[in-house]
Structure 1
Amino acid sequence: MSALTLEAARRVVDGALAHARAAGFKPIAVLVLDAGGHPLAFAREDGASPGRWAIAHGKAHGAIMLGTGSRALMARAEAQAYFVAAANGALGGALVPVPGGVLLRAADGEVIGAVGVSGETSDNDEAAALAGAAAAGLRADPG
């Protein structure tokens, strides 16, 4: 069994922020959760609205709890709106089914956490999340 370390989680955050700055994105927030859905690392850039934490959390939390990236959850919401609404209720409203929530996997494919990014367009949030995972040397699974 693999575990996501605090050091790796911080590298994910730093990598996502570096990507966002290099790409000229608006200020973002980045949250990394472990495999149990508990926060390991978080950063909100100057100028990012305070609500970005909750959105980043909803993207990452939904990915962990349902076992798929938030891009796939968006497709499922479009195809099965009642299921996603029910899942959101079961998860206490902590599900944001739009791109930007990416599963983090160990080399053997085991899910060890997730990263959620909020502040830009959903596609750009996802790009920052993927860059963060790559910076930490982790496999990323956007769904």
Structure 2
Amino acid sequence: MSNTAPAGFQHGITAAAARTIVDATLAKGRELGLAPLTVVVLDAGGHLKAALREDGCSLLRPDIAWGKAFGAMALGFGSRELARRSTAMPGFMNALSDLAGGRAVPVPGGVLVRAADGAVLGAVGVSGDASDKDEVCAVAGITAAGLAADTGDAA
């Protein structure tokens, strides 16, 4: 039996890239001396590709990390832009939260993963420390996998 996906199924980020992202994201957190982190990698369809919760993470960290990545995938830009829109358009963000079943977390730390040609391959969400620091770790993980990080800020 072949171990290849049926024709037409493209899920974006590979399992190997997702593992690299998780490992490099957590390594960056250790390098910076951050609180324990949880990292979630979603594929192009918004489905779980990889996740790891460091020892010492609090109960909801996986849900928060997932929500950061999910929010980025839901609207097609990094969660830093979601945070700006949450402040500027609270009504829209309330509607988004309702439509997404509460799964979109509009703070930094949700980063789109892009191929060299700009195609969205998935998203990474990190939670555990301050959101800006979570984002730094996500970007480090994505970069270590040889992919492009889209935080929602202009490059």
TM-score (norm 1): 0.98
Segments ≥4 residues shifted beyond 3 Å: none
User: Which of 32, 37, 62 is matched with 1:23 structurally?
Assistant: 32
Cross-structure match for 2:126 = 117
Cross-structure match for 1:127 = 136
**Whole-angstrom distance in 1 between the partners of 2:111 and 2:75:** 12
Question: How large is the RMSD of aligned CA atoms in angstroms?
Answer: 1.0
Cross-structure match for 2:45 = 36
SS in 2 for 1:49: coil
Structure number having the greater helix percentage: 1
Deviation at 1:2?
7.5
Larger radius of gyration: 2
Cross-structure match for 2:66 = 57
**Whole-angstrom distance in 2 between the partners of 1:50 and 1:42:** 14
**Whole-angstrom distance in 1 between the partners of 2:128 and 2:54:** 9
Deviation at 1:50?
2.2
**Whole-angstrom distance in 1 between the partners of 2:28 and 2:144:** 10
1:86 matched to 2:58:
no
Residue type of the alignment partner of 2:72: A
User: Which of 113, 116, 133 is matched with 1:107 structurally?
Assistant: 116
Cross-structure match for 2:105 = 96
Unaligned runs of 5+ in 2: 1-9
State the identity as a percent. Answer: 56
8 Å Cα contact 2:11-2:44 kept in structure 1? no
Unaligned runs of 5+ in 1: none
SS in 2 for 1:99: coil
Report how many residues are paired: 143
SS in 2 for 1:93: coil
**Whole-angstrom distance in 2 between the partners of 1:137 and 1:14:** 14
1:45 matched to 2:54:
yes
